[in-house]
Amino acid sequence: DILEYKKKQRPQKIRMLDGSVKTVMVDDSKTVGELLVTICSRIGITNYEEYSLIQETIEEKKEEGTGTLKKDRTLLRDERKMEKLKAKLHT
């Protein structure tokens, strides 16, 4: 068996919705729900019930010939689709 000693507090990088990155000290002994309350209070977000934490995965760069769409193209396509749907609505 291996015994690892880790610090209870560690810095955690949080990427906000606008793309900015903030670093907050978090307690590893707390649950994710408790961490969310701590993170939101330190950043200044009052309605922490509306937020959640996700782990950002870094996708490996695939070969050019795979035929997959890039992120920018899918976003542009979704924006066009949303504009067509907005035009159909009469609100």
User: Quick one: what percent of the chain has pLDDT higher than 70?
Assistant: 77
Lowest-confidence pick of 22-26, 27-31, 62-66: 62-66
47-85 confidence digits (pLDDT tens): 888 888 888 777 665 555 555 555 555 556 677 777 777
Q: What is the 3-state secondary structure (H, E, C) of the chain?
A: CCCCCCCCEEEEEEECCCCCEEEEEEECCCCHHHHHHHHHHHHCCCCHHHCCCCCCCCCCCCCHHHCCCCHHHHHHHHHHHHHHHHHHCCC
pTM for the whole structure: 0.53
Does 81 map to a domain?
no
The predicted structure's pLDDT at residue 9: 94
Number of domains the chain contains: 1
User: Has residue 2 got a pLDDT over 80?
Assistant: yes
Asked if residue 30 is part of any domain, the answer here is yes
Range of the domain at 18: 7-55
